[in-house]
């Protein structure tokens, strides 16, 4: 007997009040009393967000009569058992005013939602197919609205949507349903083809993007990635959902789409010359989320198969999914010819600098950072730079170090590219979750090298990676440049005309003198400190100079005796010093 689908209906009921009305109808509810729940988190963003807190009202009915609904925990409801075997409908109003790639947002100009924010999970029927009727808001002002999503229109069904139209869409199960964010409104739409797969870019918000330039660049990157893992691509269609704002940056990966938030100035305008840094960063973000189509959406850690949407899903492997993806995002730009070698060296040097400037790299391993993402990396505070290592940035460096180790150890016969393709075949294409040592096992199997020590040090240890030594055979030199001013050992933030200590680095001059994050600097050597003036002041001083620093902590003025440290050599620079290096050519194509 075919399983009857769960029917959803969503409509922007009150755009001005930012409220969706969402209903869910179950043909054969649990006779003991059907449970419904909203996810506690959205896959790809490892923080408990408790989406159910945005449910403003909820009710249940069957055969036109109200059914009692009890809330049994922060995100679960239970309907009273029904006497007859009747369909049960639960309808809720959901407040949507989170303009991020992780939530839902609705006003008179557009609607955006992730399924995790709006679609109730029918407990016990997660594997049933889903049908979603997506309705437009009521009123003439919304008559031009259309839809961008990678959800499949339910053509063949009565009321089935046409591509970009309102009506019925379908998903094979709940996990798929919540993996296709939806944008509604009057976005700009452009399409392109990559290896025979239709791709769309939908941009919401005011912008002057040169869509031709953008799609031409994206096409190169997408085709490179599809060919990297091997045709055919795993999706039938792919959608870039872009929201352009004044200032913003973020992305979230999905199986056949990505939701991106960017500054409108990051997008290329017509007549743009070359590749400005801001546009390069945006292309890097697109490339990153696109690579996730394989690495994390399909090649997954065992802890995500399936996702447990009620609670934290612990894994020590986020470094592999975010770090390897971060390594390949820029590499794909370079190898597809969108950026030059000098761009790539600059981007990679920046990553090395970022990792090196964070003392947390000496305290926390990548495996620990991955495991604790939920409470540490995703919840940064003033002490994070001292205590936490980024599994993105250091993960990217470990990916590069592994790639170089494999290439050198196998005389260029085996690389991380080969490892990724085997992971794709063994885990991505089979849906099997990856165990903690699987990357190492595959890398060892392909190269014949013993990589136990490499992984122990790079993933489970905290020592700095020997990047200089690893890069040398590839004709790339790593040098450290010295900062221009002696060090106070702090990161400051400007608040109006005040200088606040954002972070006080471990064992630095400020910490030794007793200064703390949150302190507001008032004066150095009796002279008032300002955000503009502080570096100018420090630049005239020398390492070892004693300073008297006045600062407010709470409302108390305190005095600190600080001794300046030498300017740190903590800015990495990468130079390709051999014009012609066969190893580098095989690696970077240059």
Helix axes 324-335, 277-291, angle to 10 degrees: 120
Contact present, 144 and 180 (Cβ < 8 Å): no
Choose between 98 and 322: whose C-beta lies nearer to Zn ion: 322
* Alpha carbon of residue 33 to chain centroid: 38
Smallest separation (angstroms) from Zn ion to the CB of 331: 15
Residue 153 or 301: the one with the smaller Cβ distance to Zn ion is: 301
CB of 150 to Zn ion, least distance (A): 18
Residues 362/287, Cβ–Cβ less than 8 Å: no
Q: Going residue by residue from 303 to 342, which x/- string records binding to Zn ion, judged by CB under 5 A?
A: -------------------x--------------------
Rounded CA-CA distance 295/288 in Å is 10
Near Zn ion in 524-563, by CB under 5 A: none
Q: How far is the CB of 320 from Zn ion (least distance, A)?
A: 11
Q: How far is the CB of 472 from Zn ion (least distance, A)?
A: 30
DSSP state, residue 322: I
Residues 251, 242: Cα–Cα separation, whole Å: 9
Please list every residue from 250 through 269 that binds Zn ion, using CB under 5 A. none
CB of 439 to Zn ion, least distance (A): 17
User: What gap in Å lies between CA 293 and CA 74, rounded to an integer?
Assistant: 32
CB-nearer residue toward Zn ion: 93 or 322: 322
CA distance 277 to 581: 27
Q: How far is the CB of 94 from Zn ion (least distance, A)?
A: 26
For Zn ion, which residue has the nearest CB? 322
Q: Is 357 helix (H, G, I), strand (E, B) or coil?
A: coil
- Residue among 200 and 322 whose Cβ is closer to Zn ion: 322
Question: Between residues 322 and 372, which has the closer beta carbon with respect to Zn ion?
Answer: 322
Minimum Å gap between C-beta 253 and Zn ion is 6
Instruction: Closer to Zn ion by CB, 153 or 323: give it.
Output: 323
Closest separation between CB of residue 288 and Zn ion, Å? 5
DSSP per-residue string spanning 134-201: E-PPSSGGGTT-EEEESSEE-TTSTTBPPTTSSEEEEESSHHHHTTS-EEEES-EEEEEEETTEEEEE
Q: What is the DSSP letter of 320?
A: I
- The SS3 assignment for 62 reads strand
CA 385 to mean position of chain CA atoms: 19
Q: Which is nearer to Zn ion, 322 or 444 (CB)?
A: 322
Q: In the 8-state DSSP scheme, what is residue 564?
A: P
**What are the distances in angstroms from CA 355 to CA 393, 396, 445, 471?**
6, 10, 30, 17
Closest CB to Zn ion among 319 and 474?
A: 319
Q: Let me know how long the chain is.
A: 590
Binding residues for Zn ion, per CB under 5 A? 322
């Amino acid at each position: 007997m075919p399983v009857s689908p769960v029917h959803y209906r969503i409509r922007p009921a009150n755009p001005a009040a930012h409220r969706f009305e969402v209903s869910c109808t179950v043909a054969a509810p649990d006779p003991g009393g059907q449970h419904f729940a909203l996810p506690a988190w959205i896959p790809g963003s490892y923080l408990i967000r408790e989406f159910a807190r945005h449910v403003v009202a909820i009710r249940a009915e069957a055969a036109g009569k109200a059914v009692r609904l009890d809330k049994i925990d922060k995100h679960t409801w239970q309907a009273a058992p029904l006497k007859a075997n009747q369909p049960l409908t639960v309808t809720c109003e959901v407040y949507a005013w989170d303009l991020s790639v992780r939530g839902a947002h609705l006003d008179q100009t557009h609607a955006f939602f992730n399924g995790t924010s709006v679609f109730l999970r029918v407990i016990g029927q997660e594997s049933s197919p889903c049908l979603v009727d997506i309705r437009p808001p009521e009123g003439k002002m919304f008559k031009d609205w259309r839809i961008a999503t990678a959800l499949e229109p339910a053509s063949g069904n009565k009321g089935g949507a046409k591509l970009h139209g309102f009506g019925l869409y379908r998903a094979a199960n709940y996990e798929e349903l919540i993996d296709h964010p939806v944008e509604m409104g009057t976005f700009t739409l452009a399409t392109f083809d990559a290896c025979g797969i239709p791709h769309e870019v939908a941009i919401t918000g005011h912008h002057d993007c040169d869509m031709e330039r953008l799609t031409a660049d994206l096409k190169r990157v997408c085709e490179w990635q599809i060919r990297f893992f091997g045709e055919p691509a795993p999706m039938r269609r792919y959608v870039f959902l872009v929201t352009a704002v004044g200032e913003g940056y973020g992305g979230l990966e999905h199986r056949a789409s990505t939701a991106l938030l960017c500054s409108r100035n990051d997008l290329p305008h017509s007549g743009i010359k070359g590749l400005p840094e801001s546009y390069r960063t945006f292309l890097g973000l697109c490339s990153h989320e696109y690579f996730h189509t394989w690495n994390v959406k399909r090649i997954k850690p065992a802890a995500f198969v399936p996702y447990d949407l009620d609670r934290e899903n612990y894994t020590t492997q986020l470094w592999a999914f975010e770090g390897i993806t971060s390594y390949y995002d820029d590499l794909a730009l370079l190898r597809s010819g969108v950026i030059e070698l000098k761009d790539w060296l600059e981007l990679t040097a920046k990553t090395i600098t970022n990792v090196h400037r964070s003392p947390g790299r000496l305290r926390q391993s990548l495996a620990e950072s991955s495991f604790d993402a939920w409470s540490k990396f995703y919840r940064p505070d003033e002490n994070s730079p001292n205590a936490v290592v980024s599994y993105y940035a250091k993960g990217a460096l470990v990916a590069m170090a592994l790639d170089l180790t494999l290439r050198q150890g196998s005389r260029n016969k085996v690389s991380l590219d080969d490892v990724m393709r085997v992971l794709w075949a063994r885990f991505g294409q089979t849906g099997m979750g990856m165990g903690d040592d699987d990357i190492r096992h595959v890398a060892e199997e392909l190269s014949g090298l013993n990589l136990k020590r490499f992984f122990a040090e790079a993933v489970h240890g905290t020592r700095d990676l020997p990047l200089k030594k690893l890069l040398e055979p590839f004709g790339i030199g790593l040098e450290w440049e010295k900062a221009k001013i002696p060090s106070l050992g702090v990161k400051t933030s400007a608040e109006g005309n005040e200088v606040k200590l954002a972070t006080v680095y471990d064992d630095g001059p400020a910490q030794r003198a007793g200064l703390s994050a949150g302190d507001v600097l008032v004066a150095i050597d009796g002279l008032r400190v300002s955000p503009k003036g502080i570096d100018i002041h420090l630049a005239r001083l020398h390492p070892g100079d004693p300073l008297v620093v006045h600062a407010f902590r709470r409302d108390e003025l305190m005095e600190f005796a600080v001794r300046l440290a030498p300017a740190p050599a903590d800015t990495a620079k990468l130079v390709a010093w051999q014009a012609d290096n066969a190893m580098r050519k095989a690696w970077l194509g240059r």
